[in-house]
Structure 1
């Protein structure tokens, strides 16, 4: 027992050491992007505020706004590098199907996430922002603080980027045998309800924003069904070809 424990201990230590290295590299990459964004804030600041007049309620709110926005952008830029470092860490522990799936579809995961951010920035954010401001302008003098604007901007971009990963999640579950196209069809109505609830939770509390997010989520779900069915057909074709070649 003692010999076995001693034999396993170096493996665990090496495992934790590798995790530490990947986390340090991820932190360094994030820090570099953060410092870069923070030091060039005057260049990209107009793209964040989009010409809206914002107010600050205290001197500290200025630095809070700058840091939160810089950190969010730096996280988005560092995400491909962080995913690569984490992939290097988890790859040895994955089975063949999981490893093949992640290595093949990792670029598409980032593209979908970036697409969700773009959709949130150019569609969801301006439409929901203008709707809420016009709604408030009927009865109030609307003044938006920088801190609240930053929170609203992140709320209408980052969660949508994650939701756009739905096709990749469906393909991964199908690849490891936990999901089929027929199952997705059978639970379609319930899935729509879940998507409606999720879109309501991650978007501002107005019908316009929730509808704008829900429609592409439904389209992504339907697209996910077709992708899963297509991969199932390809898997059956490969199995048939192997059987014929074996004969």
Structure 2
């Protein structure tokens, strides 16, 4: 039997470690999903997700399901997505535990805050979209709907809309992290970013126009936080760079 070479043995051990971390992350998601299935249950979770839309409809109105298994499948999809979001800190911790042994001390100071802030900002973006944006967007749309049209949204279409909007807001709330990474890697300086601030503002409104529905409420609701988060990144980046400098960089 051939003995593996040292390099090959190290590579195999890394693959085994990666597999174990992926299994642990998956188990965490499954456990959270099982907990949500037990309480409060998929149907109640979907009712919570649908509240902003139901609130904008006439009293007594409900959403419709055009598919045979949609009333079962759609709430299950929502439950799985919510489970992943709630388990995101555990998933990111497994990622951190996998790469941490190969990092220097100053690199650990670099990665840990990025992992934590990324998960927190993503959840903040999703929460901002649900609690602030949805209610205003649906109310704005319902006010412009003709009286001759009965608004009865399909639950699958509504789920696709909600997921795309939450993903868009969660991703765009990562702007400070992107700014910090660009500055820390030396790809661009804070002074240069301040010079291109007008272009960044225009870019924020362009992105908002692309990823949100064609109404001014949702576009401003996304563009304005992006501009504020860009400014937050400019404030945090110099502090982050100074704290995570390697000893040779400091000298």
Query: Unaligned 5+ residue runs, structure 1?
Result: none
C-alpha deviation, 1:100, in angstroms? 1.4
Is residue 45–residue 75 contact of structure 2 (8 Å, CA) maintained in 1?
no
Q: Which structure dedicates a bigger proportion of its chain to helix?
A: 1
In the superposition, relative to structure 1, how do residues 233 and 35 fare at CA in structure 2: closer, same or farther (>3 Å)? Answer: closer
TM-score (norm 2): 0.83
In structure 1, what is the Cα distance between the partners aligned to 2:21 and 2:187? 29
Residue 127, structure 1, aligned to residue 136, structure 2 = yes
| In 2: Cα distance, 1:76 partner to 1:70 partner | 10
- CA distance in 2 between partners of 1:46 and 1:143 (Å): 15
Q: 2:119 aligns with which of 110, 117, 136?
A: 110
Residue segments in structure 2 that go unaligned for 5+ positions in a row: 55-61
Aligned to 1:31: 30
Q: Structure 1 residue 189: deviation in Å? A: 2.3
Determine if contact 2:36/2:42 at 8 Å carries over to the other structure: yes
CA distance in 2, matches of 1:96, 1:200: 42
Q: Is the 8 A contact 1:116 1:162 kept in 2?
A: yes
| Contact 2:106–2:244 (CA under 8 A) maintained in structure 1 | no
Query: Which of the numbers 67, 72, 82 marks the counterpart of 1:73?
Result: 82
Please report the TM-score for the alignment, with normalisation by the length of structure 1.
Answer: 0.84
TM superposition shift of 1:151 = 1.5
> What's the CA shift for 1:141?
1.7
Partners of 1:95 and 1:179 in 2: CA distance: 24
Question: Residue 196 of structure 1 is aligned with which of 193, 205, 210?
Answer: 205
Partner of 1:171: 180
Report how many aligned residue pairs link the two structures. 239
Q: Is the 8 A contact 1:195 1:217 kept in 2?
A: yes
Taking only aligned residues, the RMSD between alpha carbons, in angstroms, comes to 2.7
Out of 145, 148, 151, the residue aligned to residue 154 of structure 2 is 145
